[in-house]
Structure 1
Amino acid sequence: MKTTDYPRVLIIGQTFNYTSGSGITKANLFMGWPVDRIAVATFEKVVENVICKNYYQIGYRELKRPWPFNYLQNKTESGPVDVKNLRAENDSTINEFANLNDRVRIRNNILFSTSYNFFLHFLGVYNKIFVSKISDEFLKWLNDFKPDIIYDQLSSLASIRFLSQLHRITKIPIAIHIMDDWMSTINKYGLFYFYWKRVVDYEFNQLINKASVLMSICQEMSDEYEIRYKKKFLPFHNPIELDQWTRNSKTNWDFHKPFKILYCGRIGRGTLSSVVSIAKAVDVLANEGYEVVFQIQSTSANDQFMSKIRRFKNTVIKTPLAYNELPEKLSNMDLLVLPMDFDAGSLRFIRLSMPTKTSEYMATGTPVLVYAPGCTALSKYASREKWGYIVNGKNLKLLVDAIKLLYSDESLRKKIGTRAKEMARINHDAERVREDFRNALSVVH
């Protein structure tokens, strides 16, 4: 394929990384894109120089707050980023939190930021203060790159407004890719809740009406968004390199005690309660004489979570591995778990989400236990394609019984694992998904 077959894409927002779901998905979708035909304007620290070498740091010039709130603002420098000295993120494992010794300072900063933002939301002024503008320097950098299309994984009213403003100024076609149903939870409760809800709904609808390409994270989201917004959203989930993920995939479903259960991923909104429930179920099994251990590998195991998990004797926190080490690690486990929380608040956010690790879990052949409400896109996908064992109720006994069954029934583990590998090959092959993704973005090329 010729380089010119790829459109020149400007990505707005999160940069590529191998520590967050959206960063991983973005990296795997754009892997192999000609580096001279991709540029990223990011609000985050740039840590990658393999997929892209042309970065712009969105900083103080674009995000300057009004007085007196500017005194509390980080003064991040705006401008093009020199990527020559950046290490490749492909071999990175651990986020900044794991590399900093001063955890107390980090925790206090987070607590202050959370309280500060809550206060501003309650007063109804957050969206008046946290605004952005298109600086002259940013426009010069953009015009030098000459993008054919702008791609954005929107996640806030500020990001809606930034992209809307950019499209209005440049007239460049835009592609919007929705990772989570953040539209259902973005508006925080406060004195002007209903006012801001109307504003968000209106401005999002205005923007998608101008978009040339609309994408979702999974088919279930596409189906619901077609009803909700009367628009077609193309589903694009995290693709996997089949050679990399199936090289060490499971071919023998026997196990050597202890029976090893693994959760690998984010802990927090939408997952914390169910991860704790799994730890509790494992302790119940251990007390009944089962030799079982629950391993958790996460870059977001914060103090709140650690205080909850320490009381479980058969749960261990493992050091996060490099992304390229995960296929072998996951294949060596006896059971992988995909948990989602059951409370109404979490469901509003996660119901239409599809965890990034879903396709990765499937490719390893290790049986997957889906512990999630039946209304979630994750549970529906597992049920429809029969690639996982599902527990749809928030019930400790159901969870314990499910793990007992998977512990004792090798033929069931093999059946689930084999089916998961088959569906990963059919639905998540990176070569095919990337070609479909390129074609979708080439609609204006």
Structure 2
Amino acid sequence: MTTPKVLVVGQPFTRHTGGGITLSNLFAGWDPDKLAVACVDNLFEGNIDTSVTDNYYRLGEKEHKWAFPLSLIKKKYPSGPVTFEERQGGQKSTESTKRSLRVRLIMDYFFPFLQFIGVFHLLSRIVMSDELKHWLDEYDPDVIYAQAPTREMVLFCIAIHDYLKKPMIYHVMDDWPSTIGSDGLFKNYWKKVVERDLKTLLGRTDVFMSISDFMSEEYKRRYGRDSVAFHNPIEIDFWKKYQRTDYALAECPNILYAGRTGLGIDSSLVTVAQAVAKVNKELGTAVRFTLQTGTKPDWIDQYDCVYHNSFVPYEELPRVFSGADFLLLPYDFSDQALKFIKYSMPTKAPEFMVSGTPIIIFGPDQTALVNYARAYNWAEVVTRNSVEVLADRIKHLVQNESMRRRIALKAVEVAESRHDAREITRAFSGIICSLEGQQALVG
């Protein structure tokens, strides 16, 4: 079976974002010369995993167009093929990962304001430049694989498909369409527009992929399209190198959260801190809550039991995860957060599962994560947004070694049977190979 040439649209291969990690693992072992990536300018502000491929086209100022007045303040990036600079750890980058004050103000305040008044979706678009067309013609892909989490990217994927006329896969990572009409002026109007555009894209999609079975069920109901779920696959041998087998607790037991902070996470992290403080007060223990995040949240200093560690290299994560006493998968309980994460699966869930460390899930009910954990009993699940309830469950885990062992061993069993990269990547590549030579859908 020959390997088709694949054009990846909308997401670079990385080791620091959920979508990038999932993409890197799904395409692991693919011929680097038969992969190429086209993505927007700001996605290059970080380390790119060029071990998968280094054939990239930046959708810069010739393709990514901003209306006035944003055209005056948005940073202009050059368009075209990208040349990478070497960085430590085998990663390569073209930009600094540190956000400037200008970027923070635009992303955290100005853009949300534009979204609220209902004009954000009118202010930018991605077009097919002559340079991009030349690059596409030279590469001449057999299959298009797209991740499109915004309206402008959906429209761009339609344009790419119509230009290349090649079979296309559309892979959804989060239920971003549900957040479009959640607030702001003209929310109902934009909800209808996005739904129309998304249906147009699905009409051109040969294979529709989701991130979870729960999402597949919902999107079948919502859009009338069947989809196949592909979540983050893991190399079992890599992640079980330091697999925990001893379930006696350390003198200062450690609950580890490793991931991002901000919207959809912070509120639950504060609740966990309060619950850990309560456990320590009532049991006389010294349980630690450690956040391994990019930046240190301001609220940490209010709690003696909360500690902060910076991110560690990807290669060290198996040791870190297995070295903790508990691993935490949290979600916020707000309506906005639930809409975004309801059908998603955390990229690190399988990595946590195979570590052998007991997992605590703290988040709203009726999510793909909670449904999956309950169906296979691989985590301690807390779905009430209550310091008292959470503290009680943590106390129970601290005092019950057999319970810690049971859920940890079950998680390992499920990870090895359902998340093995060898099986998942074989199925994933089989779907792509089956599309080679097919006539593209017209829509």
Shorter-chain TM range is over 0.9
Q: State yes or no: 1:64 paired with 2:55.
A: no
Partner amino acid, structure 2, of 1:294: F
Alignment of structure 1 residues 111-190 onto 2, 5 Å: 111-187=105-181, 189-190=183-184
Shift of residue 107, structure 1, vs aligned partner: 4.1
The match for 1:50 is 51
CA distance in 1, matches of 2:120, 2:386: 39
Shift of residue 90, structure 1, vs aligned partner: 5.1
CA distance in 2, matches of 1:425, 1:186: 37
Q: State yes or no: 1:31 paired with 2:28.
A: yes
Partner amino acid, structure 2, of 1:141: W
Q: State yes or no: 1:349 paired with 2:340.
A: yes
CA distance in 1, matches of 2:90, 2:18: 14
One of 12, 20, 43 as aligned partner of 1:15: 12
One of 235, 242, 245 as aligned partner of 2:236: 242
With over 3 angstroms needed to count, the CA separation of the structure-2 counterparts of 1:200 and 1:89, relative to structure 1, is: farther
The match for 1:296 is 291
TM-score (structure 2 length as normaliser): 0.93
With over 3 angstroms needed to count, the CA separation of the structure-2 counterparts of 1:396 and 1:81, relative to structure 1, is: same
Question: C-alpha deviations, 1:208-246, integer Å up to 9, x for none?
Answer: 121011111111111111111111111111111011011
CA distance in 1, matches of 2:256, 2:366: 24
Q: Secondary structure at the match of 1:354?
A: coil
One of 275, 300, 317 as aligned partner of 1:326: 317
Partner amino acid, structure 1, of 2:359: V
Alignment of structure 1 residues 269-308 onto 2, 5 Å: 269-288=263-282, 289-299=284-294, 301=295, 306-308=297-299
CA contact (8 A) 1:370 1:391 kept: yes
Shift of residue 47, structure 1, vs aligned partner: 2.8
Q: State yes or no: 1:86 paired with 2:80.
A: no
CA distance in 2, matches of 1:168, 1:113: 31
Give the share of equivalent positions with the same residue, in percent. 37
CA contact (8 A) 2:360 2:380 kept: yes
With over 3 angstroms needed to count, the CA separation of the structure-2 counterparts of 1:96 and 1:297, relative to structure 1, is: farther
Partner amino acid, structure 2, of 1:311: Q
The match for 2:191 is 197
TM-score (structure 1 length as normaliser): 0.92
Shift of residue 122, structure 1, vs aligned partner: 3.5
Shift of residue 96, structure 1, vs aligned partner: 4.9
CA distance in 2, matches of 1:432, 1:156: 31
Question: C-alpha deviations, 1:345-375, integer Å up to 9, x for none?
Answer: 2111111111111000001010001112221
The match for 2:219 is 225
CA distance in 1, matches of 2:331, 2:92: 27
Shift of residue 188, structure 1, vs aligned partner: 6.1
CA contact (8 A) 1:91 1:323 kept: no
Q: Secondary structure at the match of 2:127?
A: coil
Q: Secondary structure at the match of 2:285?
A: coil
Partner amino acid, structure 2, of 1:20: T
Q: Secondary structure at the match of 1:338?
A: strand
CA contact (8 A) 1:157 1:200 kept: yes
Question: C-alpha deviations, 1:155-175, integer Å up to 9, x for none?
Answer: 000010100111122212211
With over 3 angstroms needed to count, the CA separation of the structure-2 counterparts of 1:395 and 1:122, relative to structure 1, is: closer
One of 360, 365, 375 as aligned partner of 2:356: 365
CA contact (8 A) 1:132 1:162 kept: yes
Q: Secondary structure at the match of 2:8?
A: strand
Q: Secondary structure at the match of 2:251?
A: coil
Unpaired stretches in structure 2, ≥5 consecutive residues: 437-443
CA distance in 2, matches of 1:113, 1:397: 36
Shift of residue 192, structure 1, vs aligned partner: 2.4
CA distance in 2, matches of 1:249, 1:92: 30
CA distance in 1, matches of 2:108, 2:233: 33
* Coordinate RMSD, CA, aligned: 1.9
CA distance in 1, matches of 2:184, 2:409: 49
Question: C-alpha deviations, 1:250-279, integer Å up to 9, x for none?
Answer: 111112211111001122222111111111
Q: Secondary structure at the match of 2:76?
A: coil
CA contact (8 A) 1:13 1:42 kept: yes
